Structure 1
């Protein structure tokens, strides 16, 4: 389990610069990479964080709940009370909460959770003895 957690930690840490790079990428397909593709890394980050903290949880449940919570955050973008707008006005707030609702983001949430689940399942199978 110790090796598994170290690898999860390493991937989690690597997802931060990858996710930020995708959020601030400039070049071909910039809008799509910044606003849609980057959501895959966002989902994976949360999955790896949960698994790092609670490594014995079912990976299916982790993927399911990360999808549910991030989907709820997506819907919260439709709600614009002053306190949330103040949070969204900051870089961290925009990165964590987003600032505009887009139906298409759910596809990338599913993809991020599926890719995260596959990676974690493979790691767990190779690193953790039953």
Structure 2
């Protein structure tokens, strides 16, 4: 199967829906949302850079996820105010956690596995 923007768009929307739903069920651990957030970032980067190799998409996705997480160490009033909005919570997060970095690696890894085994290994 060929990589297509339509497929990644559908995957982005599905991941967002699943991620938002995961926050409404107490039985689902919070770290699942972090994994899904990183997976969504991977799909967005894949959507934007459709012709780039998977390795480039993985590196760009991890750099973005890690940059967002490390930005949570910055505590200026203006960005803290932004983090208290719904958009700020969903995109920027609230506080730095080392464990989130592992979740991001897992989420991007799932996207990479999807690309490699589903898209790249399927006969064209």
Aligned-residue RMSD, C-alpha: 1.9
- Given that 2:45 and 2:60 are in contact with CA atoms closer than 8 Å, whether structure 1 keeps it comes out as no
TM-score under structure 1 normalisation?
Answer: 0.84
Higher helix share: 1
- Given that 1:4 and 1:123 are in contact with CA atoms closer than 8 Å, whether structure 2 keeps it comes out as no
1:76-125 Cα offsets, whole Å, 9 max, x none, are 11111011111101011011000111111111111001101111223432
Aligned to 2:4: 4
Give 4+ residue runs of structure 1 displaced > 6 Å after superposition. none
TM-score under structure 2 normalisation?
Answer: 0.87
Once the 2 structures are TM-superposed, how far is the Cα of residue 3 of structure 1 from its aligned partner? 6.6
Structure 1: state its 5+ residue gaps: none
Once the 2 structures are TM-superposed, how far is the Cα of residue 2 of structure 1 from its aligned partner? 6.8
Q: State the number of aligned residues.
A: 123
